[in-house]
């Protein structure tokens, strides 16, 4: 004969079992739902304005540019032909967000080591101080090879203009800032047609994890 | 019998003497450890604001750009220079564990002497580094003698 206490206990255990079964069911359904999402994954968005010309849609792309990298080589839109690339804006003497961006970009660089069609383009926004020789030393010390990661300098206004109008990134001089410049910490993901397919906060590890996943997705989609 | 009693008496006396000698010492130590904790915790907060962007929150540095603070022979040999560069910055070649670094570091002139001492206490006691607390008085006299003030 069971006393009341034991009976309550048995009822409780039964309830708990029921709860566990419910949870298991919920879990299975959620997993199935997520799996189906993965299968019907939407392609990455295409940023910027678009125009319809006849039957074709014309998307926003990066305007023509010509800069010089750490090896004094000319870097233009042609350099990234048939390549996916990640772009950002920084300067070597910056001690606020740039070192964090470079730490994160180094993660992108290492994660894409086995992907010959993925490159990185870092523009200095302080070309007067960041000369080719200085960028060469900087890249070298960071451990970056110039065929995969270009550190470019050029005419200051051209860099600011391409940042704002092509990459939708902020970059300008501001004497009131501690280091003399304001710029966003954004990383931009460009596809093989030089269209922006993603914008990420280069100072946040989770955002950069997402970028690395999106690079792999973009490579799959563009094959 | 008599000699064993004598031995117990002597041993007890020694024990009492040791305990007596240790008690005030322990109190000093605990006061010291509270001070140490205060310096360390505040130093950690300041490190995250002023230093970790480049030297990383785990003190590992970045490539050959920003030197590591973990097991850094430069730090072990040059406390005074480290204290000076935290506040006044540094330019030129710097050798750490056999690697040459050459990225100019801007100073943080706004830091007080106490804040410099706290940062120094933090970096000299983290990531396997072991050192005494860097007293504000010590930091203050070193800072007064920095060459690049």
Half-sphere exposure of A62 (CA within 13 A, CB side): 30
Across the interface, do B64 and A140 touch by the CB < 8 Å criterion?
A: yes
A10: part of which helix (H) or strand (E)? Answer: helix A4-39
At residue A170, the 3 state secondary structure works out as coil
Closest by CA to A102, choosing from A135, A67, A60, A68, is A135
Query: How far does the CA of residue A107 sit from the closest CA of chain B (Å)?
Result: 12
Q: Say what percent of chain A tops pLDDT 70.
A: 89
pLDDT grade for A168, boundaries at 50, 70 and 90 = very high
CA distances from A74 to A79, A132, B35, B61, B133 (A): 8, 11, 58, 31, 53
Distance in angstroms (rounded) separating the CA atoms of residues A116 and A209: 20
The alpha carbons of chain B give a radius of gyration, in whole angstroms, of 22
CA distances from A23 to A11, A18, A32, B1, B57 (A): 18, 9, 14, 76, 40
Average pLDDT over residues B23-46: 82
Domain ranges of chain B: 33-144
> Which residue in B has a C-alpha nearest to residue A203's C-alpha?
B53
Query: How far does the CA of residue B30 sit from the closest CA of chain A (Å)?
Result: 38
Chain B residues in contact with A95 by the CB 8 A cut-off are 53-54, 105-106
Q: Within an 8 Å CB–CB cutoff, is residue B89 touching chain A? A: no
Do B143 and B108 form a contact (C-beta atoms < 8 A)?
A: no
| Residue A79, pLDDT above cutoff 80 | yes
Q: Within an 8 Å CB–CB cutoff, is residue A138 touching chain B? A: yes
| Residue B46, pLDDT above cutoff 80 | yes
pLDDT grade for B123, boundaries at 50, 70 and 90 = very high
Chain B residues in contact with A139 by the CB 8 A cut-off are none
Chain A residues in contact with B102 by the CB 8 A cut-off are 137, 141
Pair of tokens at residue A197:
């397919």
Distance in angstroms (rounded) separating the CA atoms of residues B58 and A172: 32
Q: Which tens digit of pLDDT belongs to each residue from A179-210? A: 788 888 999 999 999 999 999 999 999 999 99
Q: Measured between alpha carbons, how far apart are the two ends of chain B, in Å?
A: 75
Q: Within an 8 Å CB–CB cutoff, is residue A115 touching chain B? A: no
Pair of tokens at residue A26:
């919920």
At residue A71, the 3 state secondary structure works out as coil
> Which residue in B has a C-alpha nearest to residue A103's C-alpha?
B62
Residue-level pLDDT at A16: 66
Q: Which tens digit of pLDDT belongs to each residue from A31-62? A: 666 555 555 578 999 999 899 989 899 999 99
Across the interface, do B65 and A142 touch by the CB < 8 Å criterion?
A: yes
Neighbours of A119 (CB within 10 A): 21
Distance in angstroms (rounded) separating the CA atoms of residues B148 and B134: 21
Check: CATH 1.10.150.130 for A65-222?
no
At residue A148, the 3 state secondary structure works out as coil
Sequence-ordered list of residues with C-beta below 8 angstroms from that of A103, at least 6 positions apart, any chain: B56, B62
Q: Within an 8 Å CB–CB cutoff, is residue A140 touching chain B? A: yes
| Residue B6, pLDDT above cutoff 90 | no
pLDDT grade for B102, boundaries at 50, 70 and 90 = very high
Residue-level pLDDT at A188: 97
Q: Within an 8 Å CB–CB cutoff, is residue B18 touching chain A? A: no
Residue-level pLDDT at A111: 97
Query: How far does the CA of residue B25 sit from the closest CA of chain A (Å)?
Result: 44
Chain A residues in contact with B56 by the CB 8 A cut-off are 103
Distance in angstroms (rounded) separating the CA atoms of residues B62 and A104: 11
Q: Say what percent of chain B tops pLDDT 70.
A: 87
Interface A–B counts its CB contacts (< 8 A) at: 36
Residue-level pLDDT at A63: 97
Query: Can you point out the beta strands (E) in A104-216?
Result: 118-124, 149-152, 171-173, 181-183, 186-190, 196-201
Across the interface, do B106 and A93 touch by the CB < 8 Å criterion?
A: yes
Pair of tokens at residue B118:
């706290």
Residue-level pLDDT at B25: 52
Domain ranges of chain A: 65-222
Residue-level pLDDT at A96: 87
Which DSSP string corresponds to B48-97? HHHTHHHH-TTS--BTTTB---TT-HHHHH-HHHHHHHHHH-B-S-EEET
| Residue A15, pLDDT above cutoff 80 | no
| Residue A121, pLDDT above cutoff 60 | yes
pLDDT grade for A17, boundaries at 50, 70 and 90 = confident
Query: How far does the CA of residue A167 sit from the closest CA of chain B (Å)?
Result: 25
Q: Measured between alpha carbons, how far apart are the two ends of chain A, in Å?
A: 72
**A4-18, A57-71, B85-99, range with the lowest pLDDT:** A4-18
Across the interface, do A103 and B56 touch by the CB < 8 Å criterion?
A: yes
Average pLDDT over residues B119-140: 95
Chain A residues in contact with B62 by the CB 8 A cut-off are 99, 102-103, 106, 142
Fold for domain B33-144?
Cytochrome Bc1 Complex; Chain D, domain 2 (1.10.760)
Do B118 and B39 form a contact (C-beta atoms < 8 A)?
A: yes
Which DSSP string corresponds to B93-122? -EEETTEEE---B---TT--HHHHHHHHHH
């Amino acid at each position: 004969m069971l006393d009341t206490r034991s009976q309550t206990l048995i009822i409780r255990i039964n309830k708990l079992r029921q709860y566990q079964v419910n949870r298991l069911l919920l879990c299975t359904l959620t997993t199935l739902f997520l799996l189906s999402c993965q299968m019907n994954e939407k392609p990455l968005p295409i940023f910027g304005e678009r125009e319809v010309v006849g039957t074709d849609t014309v998307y926003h792309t990066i305007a023509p540019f010509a800069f010089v990298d750490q090896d004094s080589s000319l870097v233009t839109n042609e350099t990234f032909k048939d390549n996916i690339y990640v772009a950002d804006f920084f300067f070597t003497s910056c001690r606020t967000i740039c070192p964090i961006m470079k730490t994160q970009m180094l993660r992108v660089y290492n994660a894409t080591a086995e992907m010959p069609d993925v490159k990185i383009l870092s523009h200095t926004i302080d070309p007067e101080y960041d000369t080719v020789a200085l960028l060469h030393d900087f890249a070298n010390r960071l451990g970056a090879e110039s065929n995969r990661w270009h550190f470019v300098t050029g005419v200051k206004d051209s860099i600011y203009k391409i940042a704002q109008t092509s990459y939708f990134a902020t970059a300008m001089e501001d004497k009131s800032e501690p280091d003399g410049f304001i710029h966003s910490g954004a990383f931009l993901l460009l596809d093989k047609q030089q269209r922006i397919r993603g914008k990420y906060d280069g100072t946040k590890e989770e955002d950069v994890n997402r970028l690395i996943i999106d690079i792999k997705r973009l490579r799959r989609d563009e094959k | 019998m008599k000699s064993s009693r004598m031995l117990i008496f002597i041993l007890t006396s020694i024990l009492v003497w040791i305990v007596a000698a240790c008690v005030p010492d322990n109190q000093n130590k605990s006061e010291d450890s509270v001070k140490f904790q205060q310096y360390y915790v505040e130093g950690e907060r300041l490190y995250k604001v002023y230093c970790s962007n480049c030297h990383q929150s785990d003190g590992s540095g970045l490539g050959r750009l920003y030197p590591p603070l973990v097991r850094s022979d430069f730090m072990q040999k040059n406390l005074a220079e480290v204290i000076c560069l935290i506040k006044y910055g540094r330019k030129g070649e710097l050798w750490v564990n056999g690697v040459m670094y050459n990225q100019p570091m801007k100073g943080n002139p706004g830091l007080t002497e106490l804040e410099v001492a706290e940062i120094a206490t933090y970096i000299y006691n983290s990531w396997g580094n072991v050192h005494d607390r860097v007293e504000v008085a010590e930091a203050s006299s070193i800072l007064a003698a920095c060459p690049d003030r």
